[in-house]
Amino acid sequence: MEDVGNSELGVGNAELEAPSDEFGIQDNSPYIERITKSSKGSISVKNSVVSIVSVRNSIQEAVREALELVEWKQLLERGKPTALKVNLGWELFIPGSITSPWVVEGVIQIIREWVGPISIVESDQVLERIEVAYKKSGMPELCRRYGVTWVNMSYSPTRVVPVENGVIFPKLELPAILLDSQVITIPVMKTHAKTQITGAIKNQWGCISKLRHNYHLVINDALADINATVAPKLAVMDATVALEGDGPKSGFPRITNRILASADIVALDTIQARFMGLDPSTIDHLASCAARGIGTNVIEQIELRGDAQMPSALQHFIPARHNMVSKIEELLRRSRWKWLFFDTPVFTLMLLGAKLWYLIWFYIAGGKKRWNPILEDPFYGPLWKNVWERKSI
pLDDT tens digits for 107-151?
A: 999 999 999 999 999 999 888 889 999 999 999 999 999 999 999
Q: Is residue 333 part of a domain?
A: no
Number of domains into which the chain is organized? 1
Find the mean pLDDT for residues 338-355: 93
Q: Is residue 110 part of a domain?
A: yes
Q: Is residue 376 part of a domain?
A: no
| Residue 308, pLDDT score | 59
Q: Is residue 224 part of a domain?
A: yes
Which pLDDT band holds residue 13 (cuts at 50, 70, 90)?
A: very low
Q: Is residue 392 part of a domain?
A: no
Percent of the chain with pLDDT over 70: 86
| Residue 364, pLDDT score | 87
Q: Is residue 80 part of a domain?
A: yes
| Residue 229, pLDDT score | 97
Q: Per DSSP, which regions of the chain are E strands?
A: 33-38, 41-46, 48-54, 82-86, 118-122, 149-152, 158-162, 171-175, 182-186, 188-192, 196-198, 234-246, 250-262, 302-306
Range list of H helices, 24-168:
59-69, 101-111, 130-137, 139-146
Classify the C-alpha dihedral 356-358-361-364 as positive or negative: negative
| Residue 157, pLDDT score | 97
Q: 223-279 pLDDT, tens per residue?
A: 999 999 999 999 999 999 999 999 999 999 999 999 999 999 999 999 999 999 999
What is the DSSP pairing of strand 158-162 with strand 171-175? antiparallel
* CATH code of the domain covering residue 165: 3.40.50
> Under 8 Å CB-to-CB from 159, ≥6 apart: which residues?
173, 174, 176, 179
Q: 289-315 pLDDT, tens per residue?
A: 999 999 999 999 999 999 855 544 567
Is the pTM here over 0.75, yes or no?
yes
Task: Please state the three-class secondary structure of 347-375 as a single string.
Answer: HHHHHHHHHHHHHHHHHCCCHHHHHHHHH
> Under 8 Å CB-to-CB from 266, ≥6 apart: which residues?
48, 201, 286, 289, 290, 294, 295, 296, 297
Which pLDDT band holds residue 38 (cuts at 50, 70, 90)?
A: very low
> Under 8 Å CB-to-CB from 308, ≥6 apart: which residues?
4, 15, 16, 18, 19
Residue 178 CA to residue 190 CA, distance in Å, equals 24
Q: Domain residues for 178?
A: 7-321
Residue 310 CA to residue 119 CA, distance in Å, equals 32
